[in-house]
Structure 1
């Protein structure tokens, strides 16, 4: 299945943002390594690369599934497919977290942090105005006083009637 141009554009933006955040993380790890707070070695680089790949793969999975079900006429099948996709993607991420923490070849924090980078990228795009969620365009409704076919009669109040203000 080939991604539609809009999905491909969003996926590339997420991949770019995730790569940028990963590079910033490496710089921070290197700076913290210089002062002796953390170790910056192959485990940081390897873990962050795999973590970024898992994060980008998760977003790509969203794109593919949504594109696949968009033409599905049966609402129950659409919901079931979306739920299965969500559960599978969350399970894959959870599995990655377990592997990243358990395996000595990955630095745990550097391996898990990239899972949040697509969300950071989306927030950045929203704040800068480069990403605006689609809004349904409503038909403009012209409601004006002139359109009223029969104007309401002015209220007649009796002088002895006490109501409202005193």
Structure 2
């Protein structure tokens, strides 16, 4: 099965939007790291190190792969004649993508090379990006 041009274009848009969101997240981590005092109560601090960068990169990859997987599934399902089978395929894809998110979340929390917050935040960036794109293009007819 060959990817439709719309799937390629939208996956590229999501990758761009998610990448910009991750860069903004890095800036926020950096600013908070520089501004907040190092002796916050309860030992809290905002790090900015390689763990933040690796967490952000890992979260970016999972977020984009999730969108691509969903788009491929939708492309596949739209060509199916059997509605029951199409629902099963879509449901299985959803469950597997959620499982991928859970697995990544566990890895981001457990493995010491990742900052958990920086690994989880990119997973919500695509939905924010899609909503913002919808808001800004609402009056433009597309």
Shared fold (TM-score, shorter chain, > 0.5): yes
Q: Unaligned 5+ residue runs, structure 1?
A: 135-166
Partner of 1:13: 13
Q: Which has the larger radius of gyration?
A: 1
The structure, 1 or 2, with the larger RCO (C-alpha pairs under 8 Å, 6+ apart) is 2
Partner of 1:3: 3
**Is structure 2 residue 63 aligned with structure 1 residue 55?**
yes
How many residues were matched structurally? 134
Q: Unaligned 5+ residue runs, structure 2?
A: 37-44
> What is the deviation of 1:131?
9.8
Task: Give the counterpart of 2:119 among 107, 111, 132.
Answer: 111
Query: CA separation in 2, counterparts of 1:119 and 1:96?
Result: 18
Tell me if the contact between 1:52 and 1:114 (Cα under 8 Å) persists in the aligned partners: yes
Moved over 4 A (4+): 130-134
Q: 1:7 to 1:88 in 2, by over 3 A?
A: same
Query: CA separation in 1, counterparts of 2:13 and 2:139?
Result: 10
**RMSD, aligned α-carbons:** 1.9
TM-score (norm 1): 0.76
TM-score (norm 2): 0.88
